[in-house]
Amino acid sequence: MTWVGRAIRRLEDPALVTGRGRFTADLAAVHWLRFVRSPVAAGKIAKIEAPPGALIVTAADLKGVKPIRPMLHKFNYKPIGQPILADGVVRFTGEAIAVVVAASEEEAEDIADQVDITIDESKPVIDAREALQAGAPQIHAEAPGNVVVEGVTETPGFDKVWASAAKTVTVEARSRRQNATPMEARAGHAAYDNATGRVTLTCTTQMPHLTRTAIADVLGLPESELRVIAPDVGGGFGQKMSLVAEYVVLVWLARKLKSSVAWTEDRRENLIAGFHSRDQAITLQAAFDKHAKLLALKTEVISNIGAYSCFPTTCGVEPLMAMAEMPGPYDFRAYSCRARGVVTNTCTMAPYRGVSRPVLTFALERAMDKGAAAFGLDAIDIRRRNLIDKFPYTSVTGLVFDEASYKQTLEMAVKAADVPAFRARQKQARAKGRYLGIGFATFSERTGYGSSAFSARGAEIVPGWETVVLSIDPSGFVEARIGSSPHGQGLRTALAQIIADEIGVAPQFIKVIHGDTDNTPYGWGTFASRSLVIAGGASLIAAKKVRAKLITIASHILEAAADDIVLEDGAAKVAGTDRTVTIAKMAREAYTQTHKFKGEIEPGLTESGTYDPSGTFSNACHIALVEVDVETGRVVIERYVAAEDAGRIINPMIADGQVHGGIAQGIGNALLEEIIYDETGNILTSTLADYLPPTAHEIPPIELHHMETPSTMSNTKAKGLGEGGAIGPPAAVINAINDALSPFGVEIDEMPATPQRIRAALRAKEKAA
Amino acid sequence: MSAKIEIMLTINGRDHAIAVEPRRTLVDAIREDCGQTGTHIGCEHGICGACTVLVDDEPVRSCLMFAVQAAGKQIRTIDGLADGDTLHPMQQAFMDHHGLQCGFCTPGFLMLAVGVLEREPYISDEDLLDVLSSNLCRCTGYQNIIKAVRAAAKEMRGK
């Protein structure tokens, strides 16, 4: 029996359920920081006045500290810079202008309230389309016209294909702005070591190694002078993968004061300045032949990237992903796209679970439903006709889809949802003035992609690979040091399961060490549904090497042929005999009796594995069944069915948990969550009473169904599934709302579909009638 | 800043003599003055419930209570929920049913659920959903939290 595939309890949990988790904000410090943030969206800083005796730091003090300036070498990218503290100009409400240093958080807050900042305000631009207008305020000198990145692509002969269409449909999809809202907001703690002159930065990050590289670059330090620790991280979902300017200030101050300094972000700061995402407008046109077979897509993507470009991905991450992945899981050969990232006077955009895919899937799945309506077809039928089913499949944008189950998961979900019974119920309900709807989303999730995929984007920093160093110490204790860095998803447990099967040691005896640049190999961290695939693949490679060594050692000790040796239950055994030797004894000898192995193995039991795959595609079909109250615009999700395929499942319990969590965030995205700016650039949603992550009330029981199509592109046969849950819900839920509202002839193409938007659409229709 | 007041906080049966400003919230006092960092701060607006503790057995958002208001009362937190090495059935159920991922909101959910089930061991599923919707979790989609709390309720009733 293997450990892989079993729903074992998580190794992370005993500490977390007893209050013994270690989060950044648990650390004590000598000095506490409070950032003074811009109360306005745009203007020139005229004066900064601190109360007498206060210690404050402004841009003027940070001489020699470089701005954060990520780079893409393609797509007409303009390398705009973000000063660590606003330098003469403010570009969004919430931008840090100064920092107060005091002996406690309370004192720092009191002093921050007394810092007097005069700003000569100028007219901000909040909406990306307005920022593209001639005469709009120019936010960065480096980016005339406010366009920072622009991808354009068109397949040869596109116009001819388009002209041959039997029918075309158009979607004006709009996604409002979201905040990933991890329950632990950002926090950092930097401590100077007087003995070595090094600084240890503990911070709640998904990328400790790159945080070190980036801060060393900005401050002009050798990396060896900085150690970065990511302790327990209270969720991240992407928000904690970009470089945080405040952490640069922490390190700078720890060196300056030769002491410890800490900052714990409050919720308001997180909501106004902790990175936003998904503020996109997509115009998508789809052309079909007379059999409702998709011929071509034509699309324009405008991504509001906020005031600066996030490091390391750059602000290209949303528009360029939209361009590459807009074709979704459908088979067609003609494509035209223009995707732009536009700066505005709003909080900087950064990746958030799914990045562009929840939005592009929403646009594409709305187009499929509109296409179905145009042909008088069922929403299921049009998908059946267009989903890819031959693999490997090279998409119109050149992505290679490995073996998957697009059609099978559609059928699986359709069967589980019992569509005919629903349609009957829908009909009866309508007769009584109640409006039920069903909505579908079929989609792919590109996961576990390595350096080849990232280099195609022209990124200056090309992530992709991961390294795992696996050791068994002389007492037989197993340690895996990983460059990746989990943020709460149970990675330690899953990797231990992969290693356990190779070396015959139970997962609870395998310690996975992560999140410390001094104690782990360089690696990239958690993002893009990659850690299980890539760090898992590296774990497998390292474990196979250690396994080979153990077998060589065992064959000497047991005087048996290598082929006859099995590793299980913490021992090597000669198959079919009672001859056995424990891993602990073998480990001891690997260090202390190396002469016995006649040079066949290197001393010790430490092996390294590095993995850099090209990527693998997970897939799913989500179906939402909703009721819309047409009087109030309230939407209740009655059922949510998801059939998903993420290849070989390492731990089914953890996998389900990932999908549950993703779907809940996607439902928030579909119905509730929206960062709202007023016309002056002030945020109206700066508490969790205004910005609304779903509670247990809004999330229905989620019905999961699985397929396991082994990946041919991943050595563990696993595909990633961190983001998939979040991709489908906006499309499924809002398609369901549109189905419910079909008797009224209104269409909602905006997410979130709030009661206000639904009522406004119904009112507009009533007025027109 | 105003003058500090000397108070006694009784946390998990242990007395902590501390001096705090009147404005100091209970959660800051628990974490910083008493060093019990198992209780987390999620929003400081009384919305997310990450800081939920029991004060005289009632679930309380400790970011909305001043430390001075809790003086002389029995405060129970996540740090004292287990009985030595024996986990509380609620802690065990959260592990068994995967009711947590990052674990940041977990202390608040555990204390909320324990407080409510001690008061209402036979709470209906519907009322339980109402109670659990007072706290926010961003990782689990609540599916397994609900499962875990129901399982623990059964276990707690059996004792």
**Spans of all domains in chain B:** 5-80, 89-158
* pLDDT class of A569 with cuts at 50, 70, 90: very high
| pLDDT value at residue A597 | 87
Q: Are A654 and B98 inside 8 Å of each other by CB?
A: yes
User: Given 3.10.20.30, 3.40.50.620, 3.40.50.300, 3.40.50.720, which CATH number is that of B5-80?
Assistant: 3.10.20.30
Q: Strand, helix or coil at A435?
A: strand
Q: What is the mean pLDDT of residues A55-69?
A: 97
Question: How near does any CA of chain B get to the CA of A177, in Å?
Answer: 17
Question: How near does any CA of chain B get to the CA of A695, in Å?
Answer: 5
Judging contacts by C-beta atoms under 8 Å, the chain B residues touching residue A687 are 43, 45, 47
Question: How near does any CA of chain B get to the CA of A103, in Å?
Answer: 12
Across chain B, what does the average pLDDT equal?
A: 97
Summarised one tens digit per residue, pLDDT across range A121-165 is 999 999 999 999 999 999 999 999 999 999 999 999 999 999 999
Judging contacts by C-beta atoms under 8 Å, the chain A residues touching residue B31 are 26
Residue of B139, B140, B150 best to disrupt the A interface, most CBs of A under 10 A: B139
Architecture of domain B89-158: Orthogonal Bundle (1.10)
Give the strands of the sheet with B5-11, arranged side by side: B14-20, B5-11, B74-76, B52-55, B58-61
Q: How many CB atoms lie within 10 A of CB A376?
A: 7
Query: Does the beta carbon of A587 lie under 8 angstroms from any beta carbon of chain B?
Result: no
Across chain A, what does the average pLDDT equal?
A: 97
Summarised one tens digit per residue, pLDDT across range A737-760 is 999 999 999 999 999 999 999 999
Between the alpha carbon of residue B77 and those of residues A12, B51, B112, the distances in Å are 20, 9, 10
Judging contacts by C-beta atoms under 8 Å, the chain B residues touching residue A110 are 1
Q: What is the mean pLDDT of residues B52-73?
A: 98
Domains of chain A: 24-122+186-264 (3.90.1170.50), 357-446+616-768 (3.30.365.10), 465-611 (3.30.365.10)
Name the region of A464 (left: φ>0; alpha: ψ -120 to 50; beta: rest): left
Whether the pLDDT of residue A653 is over 70: the answer is yes
Q: What is the mean pLDDT of residues B105-110?
A: 98
Task: List all residues 6 or more positions away from A519 whose beta carbon is below 8 Å from its beta carbon.
Answer: A481, A513
Question: How near does any CA of chain A get to the CA of B57, in Å?
Answer: 18
Query: Does the beta carbon of A644 lie under 8 angstroms from any beta carbon of chain B?
Result: no
Q: Are A702 and B31 inside 8 Å of each other by CB?
A: no
Between the alpha carbon of residue A490 and those of residues A35, A264, A661, B35, the distances in Å are 33, 25, 13, 27
Q: Are B146 and A696 inside 8 Å of each other by CB?
A: yes
Between the alpha carbon of residue A290 and those of residues A296, A407, A410, B126, the distances in Å are 13, 21, 23, 50
Whether the pLDDT of residue B146 is over 70: the answer is yes
Judging contacts by C-beta atoms under 8 Å, the chain A residues touching residue B101 are 235, 488-490, 657, 661
Summarised one tens digit per residue, pLDDT across range A694-739 is 999 999 999 999 999 999 999 999 999 999 999 999 999 999 999 9
Judging contacts by C-beta atoms under 8 Å, the chain A residues touching residue B23 are 106
Summarised one tens digit per residue, pLDDT across range A599-647 is 888 999 999 999 999 999 999 999 999 999 999 999 999 999 999 999 9
Whether the pLDDT of residue A462 is over 70: the answer is yes
Closest CA to A368 of A360, A469, A709, A765: A360
Summarised one tens digit per residue, pLDDT across range A575-592 is 999 999 999 999 999 999
DSSP for A200-231?
EEEE--S-HHHHHHHHHHHHT--GGGEEEE--
Query: Does the beta carbon of A724 lie under 8 angstroms from any beta carbon of chain B?
Result: no
* Complex confidence, ipTM: 0.98
Summarised one tens digit per residue, pLDDT across range A187-232 is 999 999 999 999 999 999 999 999 999 999 999 999 999 999 999 9
Question: How near does any CA of chain B get to the CA of A703, in Å?
Answer: 10
Q: What is the mean pLDDT of residues A30-49?
A: 98
| pLDDT value at residue A285 | 98
Whether the pLDDT of residue B2 is over 90: the answer is no
Whether the pLDDT of residue B1 is over 90: the answer is no
H or E segment and range at residue A620: strand A616-628
| pLDDT value at residue B159 | 65
DSSP E strands, A265-311: 280-288, 294-306
Judging contacts by C-beta atoms under 8 Å, the chain B residues touching residue A11 are none
